[in-house]
Structure 1
Amino acid sequence: MAIADQSILDHLEPIAKLSAGRKKELAALCFTEKVNKDIDPTRMNVAKAAQALYLLKGDLSLHYYDDKKVTIHGGTEAAQYPVNADQKVAKTVALTEIEILRIDMDLLDIMMTWDQLSSAGKPPKEQPKAIKFAQNAQPTVAEAHPRSTDEWLNDTEVFSAFNLQSGVFSRLPAANIEAMFKRMTTVKVAAGQVVIQQGGQGDYYYLIQNGIALVSR
């Protein structure tokens, strides 16, 4: 297996609709596999998890429950879509040695949901260089340019795939995500100021936009 090249994802649907940041992150989580002739790649799902399977190279035969057979060739328009998307497909058979790509459906669904919320996957608008410099030099100046909902949603470091699947945001209904971000505000914090006190009342959720925080117990 080899880590997937991001350029591959640009030609697969619906992955091609993801933002550049999400595609870069997804590429690092995907692997391409080579499958020998006469093998059914859909039966090689060891994890038994819902997966989208794409044919990248070679010829693959789709066998339907009504005995119909269709051959898909890697690199064609038909191969841009998951070969196992149609529930009427009973099995698949590699007619040649093939190369495939598997993607966890839950992971893809989460990424698509967040990108759709952030202006249909459009990247955030470029900030003026002067503001960027000010943020790096003096974090509190960032208050002059509070992050928009789109900028937060497109932050693949704070909201990485791992955090979205297992963190606190994994329990948040998709319908409430955008509403939550619209209610977020930028708060100026001075050096040395205590933001959260252990044992205190926890009525807010904090994200570090700029600067460094020390956590102690």
Structure 2
Amino acid sequence: MPVDTHSELARTIRQLIPLSTLPSNLFARLCAQIDIESAEQGQYLFKRGDKNSDLYYLLNGSINLQTESFKIQNIKAGSDSARFAIAHQIPRKVDAVCDSRIQFLRLNTAMMKMVQETSYEENESTMMFEEVADSDDWMTTLLKSPIFRALPPANLQKILISLQQIRFNAGDIIIRQDEPGDYYYIVKKGRAIISRRPSPTAKEIKLAQISDLDTFGEDALISGIPRTVSITAVTDMCLLRLGKEQFIELIKQPTLKYINFDELHDLLSADAELVDVRSPDEFKKSHLARSINVPFFSMRMYLKTLNKSHPIILVCKDGRISESAAFILLQHKFNALILKGGIDRMTPDQLKAEPASFNIDDGTETGNFSEPSKENTSLQLETMPQTEDQATEFSQVLQQLKAKCKKLESENMTLELKCSSLARQLESAKLELDKLKSN
């Protein structure tokens, strides 16, 4: 029997993970398809070894997860554990036995496919995520992140069970530049400053501020390089942290996607963009043709200049920095792919193959252009630089235009904020004027 989306039962179902992140229209569709089932005390929901991939959620009552020898866990409806699918490892590792009369929800493969294929490109204004009982529910808010929404339910459960809560006082240094990465952090409450020293003797530069529900610490865990920034608490802070091994197993490995050199041609032909995330000096010495340089340290500043409608292929020396860059892009709803192994893994034959598109350049920046093909070159010849000097000049002009666009975007944002402030002041003045007229 379908579930009324305005009922208390629907509100309970709405808190289940990952259903809590569904847009309202898809949640309503799901409610129209589901049936609430019941089982009596002593009945089995499933047994060890079962390969049925359905997801089971406990709505009322309690169940025991157990083996032949002992009881592992008792799950009660309404608990944090009950927000997740019950023991969703296939094949099943435990028996699920009703400890009382229960009501439960079973989601089959077709229903879960609808949940998992929810588009990240949907207009945020139509998402209309429902509030759950706790108006400050950091868990539900966090699960709206593209990274977490893409993870399997079993991974989400392990992550949220494994998170450790830790507190810092204002002024405490949470992570230090140049130290090895050990944890991935989620800000539950508080504010901190991100800073960096360009050299050991240089003055520390403040880069940005982070606050509630922001995450940090993943760059060093993904790339394996030491921390590149320091983070210092501005206020008293409550953080949640996940250890390095768990982050790699539960978040990094299922999230990042790789391609081989052989796949590069087809993807570029289908309008993918090739982005080299090494430093400008490394890029200038040699790089793949048709690549553009967006250094990793400035990746976050260039997000608005990148096209979300096309896949973005990331390349670096050995693939490690590309992994960190891909994680940033995925957090902002880009389709990011990593050229596995980077330039170091390419064979001499691969570097020589298709010289018009994929050779390593001699140091002259080519921007996002390759040499014209022999067929149908008239239009290309009209728009392409004809010499290396022209190509260099063209690239420099392109970079200058990008910098100007960036500056204009910033100025536009500032003006929009000023306009918004003036509109509020005008509205306030009108109210005061109306009061004076009425007197």
TM-score (normalizing by structure 2) = 0.25
Greater gyration radius: 2
TM-score (normalizing by structure 1) = 0.48
Q: Which has the higher contact order (CA 8 A, sep 6+)?
A: 1
- The structure that is helix-richer by fraction is 2
